[in-house]
Amino acid sequence: MTRESRPLTKTAASSGNITSGNTFPAAGTQSVNGGGKSTGSASALRTMDNSLSHAISSACDWLVGQQKPDGHWVGPVASNASMEAEWCLALWFLGLDDHPLRPRLGKALLEMQREDGSWGTYYGAGNGDINATVESYAALRSLGYPADDPAISRAATWIASKGGLKNIRVFTRYWLALIGEWPWEKTPNLPPEVIWFPNNFVFSIYNFAQWARATLVPLAILSARRPSRPLRPQDRLDALFPGGRANFDYELPARGDRDLWGRFFRATDRGLHWLQSRFLKRNTLREAAIRHMLEWIIRHQDADGGWGGIQPPWVYGLMALHGEDYQFHHPVMAKALSALNDPGWRHDRGDASWIQATNSPVWDTMLAIMALHDADGETQFSPQMEKALGWLLDRQVRVKGDWSIKLPDVEPGGWAFEYANDRYPDTDDTAVALIALSSCRNREEWKKRGVEEAISRGVNWLIGMQSECGGWGAFDKDNNRSILSKIPFCDFGEALDPPSVDVTAHVLEAFGILGLPRHMPTIQRALAYIRAEQEPDGPWFGRWGVNYLYGTGAVLPALAAIGEDMKQPYITKACDWLVAHQQENGGWGESCASYMELSMVGRGVTTPSQTAWALMGLIAANRPQDYGAIARGCRYLIDLQQADGSWHEKEFTGTGFPGYGVGQTIKLDDPALSKRLQQGAELSRAFMLRYDLYRQFFPIMALSRASRLMKLEK
């Protein structure tokens, strides 16, 4: 496959094996759009020759300047205030109330508070989030901030204005229980005995998504033991119980979809609480289950001290082990606590500190390699790229993880997202790693280093991970048991990891670039899946990036990479949708609110990363009538570039969880959607991210591909 057909877009995995049925605003009707129509002039591209080259060169210089001494790249990953609040509360729970990190986390929380007193889930959200606000309020109180402190009183007023604590999520209820502010009996019960369920049973822990599984295990221990370390009397959260705790209704709020299974699981939860309070506290079987879970936790600890490469299993794992009398000097505990000082997790600024929800060195490094390769950087930046390729090659995971429980005969060969997460390589990182490594596969020195073997192992692992529907999920095959999302525990983000279009597109792109034959069944099944997932108006849903711009920007380069006829009507429809959503300034933008509000699909503040995704999609299709739109998009990026060669981007364009529960696209025109999901455009059940270096990687790719297109048209 030639470099001209190269593409990409981002992330790590999962959406669904259904078509959502959404009907999007008609092309060209949005008031924010720049024009819906495009002048197809190749001369518009040619006139940018010098400015395009200069923008690419200065952007690459800036990017190379960010490379770490050992060859990798990593940028900060921003999320929401719950990360800092929960760590602050966890250290209190552990008895480490004098830990030097706690006041620094408090300072970070104060910096993140909105003017109205709340905390939000993503930059630019129209409304604050009740869960992040309650957790931040509790964390600041645990630090001794008095009730009449302006930040505290504003938060309490905002919480009261939103109905108080009655609508907080399950995880926030757990945190309040851990500090003595919520009865454990009114939290969803997680019996540790689930660890005994056979792997082929629907409620096996291996049918939950990777992140849910790794979190469920330590939480089950905490749920069984019901520990708490109450706040000091003067710091208690009395203001959040204006009618008194005795008169408060602690029951979970009713959803709009109280179907038979939902009612069944609510009743089962009440029964489990009854059993626990009478028979299961120190039952022999329960003690054995807890021991087994402790072994599972210890066995799954990452080399850097965390668990699963993400915050929840790390913070809950620490507390669960502490409750079982693991001392701080125990190697597992010591390593987990020391990770809080690891710059891979922690970001300090002034007297404030942030603990990231995850870290992205492998992902960032492969995207940097791709960007520099697109920019013909092999000559100018040869030493830097060689070092990066070596670092990436060494990160291939060659041990079996949780995915192998269902695929015992598949050999390992994937890549993980983070520094140390061998248990959970993901298909998205693996696909993009293969694209990055393809640039050196034909060179003798890299053949001697085993690059071809690594690529072969990666391809075979991906083929083994393909789901029955033809798509790929992030961490597991066929992780789509929707009944699990009905369990009360699963009212957060997503409990499942079904296939998604964006990940599937990246896998197809990798296979095309590596020269796998188009007619092979794996590729044909994936192509059929992608075509079935297209929305009626042309775009594709973005599971791991915001949103339809991300999904569509991933699919079109993938189709070009496998040699699809880019003049087909379904591709034309996708391109028309992209052009129709270009804005007056030449850029593209889509708000995180698009995951809940149909009117926000394809709309939002324009950003460098999302503009680049749209451009890469249009460039891959290479329709002459789109050259004008491509030129305007490039001009937007050039004009927005800073003097040092970088771009700025405050908006969140990465997705952790849309908050749907099922992990895949759903119908946004459902009038009961907000009540059923218990979230609006503020995305209270979702988890959104800003990958700092997206602002650099993707514009370099888009401008470089536009430059090649321009040269072809001369």
Q: What are phi and psi of 545, to 5 degrees?
A: -155, 155
Q: What DSSP assignment string belongs to 454-483?
A: HHHHHHHHHHHH--TTS-B-SSSSSB--GG
Give the closest residue to 424 by CA, choosing from 362, 516, 487, 351: 362
Place of tokens 């990953």: 77
For residue 500 the two structure tokens come to: 């998604």
Does an H or E element contain 657, and which? strand 654-657
478 vs 473: CA distance, rounded Å:
7
**Cβ-proximal residues to 6 (8 Å cutoff; 6+ apart), any chain:** 374, 435, 513, 557, 561, 705
**Cβ-proximal residues to 643 (8 Å cutoff; 6+ apart), any chain:** none
235 vs 141: CA distance, rounded Å:
5
Place of tokens 């869960």: 131
DSSP for residue 107 = H
Q: What are phi and psi of 472, to 5 degrees?
A: -125, 135
Q: What are phi and psi of 384, to 5 degrees?
A: -65, -40
287 vs 283: CA distance, rounded Å:
6
Does an H or E element contain 347, and which? strand 346-349
Q: What DSSP assignment string belongs to 297-323?
A: HHHTB-TTS-BTTBHHHHHHHHHHHHH
Indicate which residues carry an active-site annotation.
428
- The answer to whether 701 touches 54, Cβ cutoff 8 Å, is no
**Cβ-proximal residues to 612 (8 Å cutoff; 6+ apart), any chain:** 553, 637, 698, 699, 701, 702, 703
Distances (CA, A) of 639 to 47, 52, 162, 650: 15, 10, 42, 17
203 vs 490: CA distance, rounded Å:
13
Q: State the number of CA atoms in the 13 A half-sphere of 362 facing the CB.
A: 30
- The answer to whether 558 touches 622, Cβ cutoff 8 Å, is no
- The answer to whether 464 touches 408, Cβ cutoff 8 Å, is no
Give the closest residue to 493 by CA, choosing from 217, 679, 315, 250: 679
DSSP for residue 550 = H
177 vs 183: CA distance, rounded Å:
6
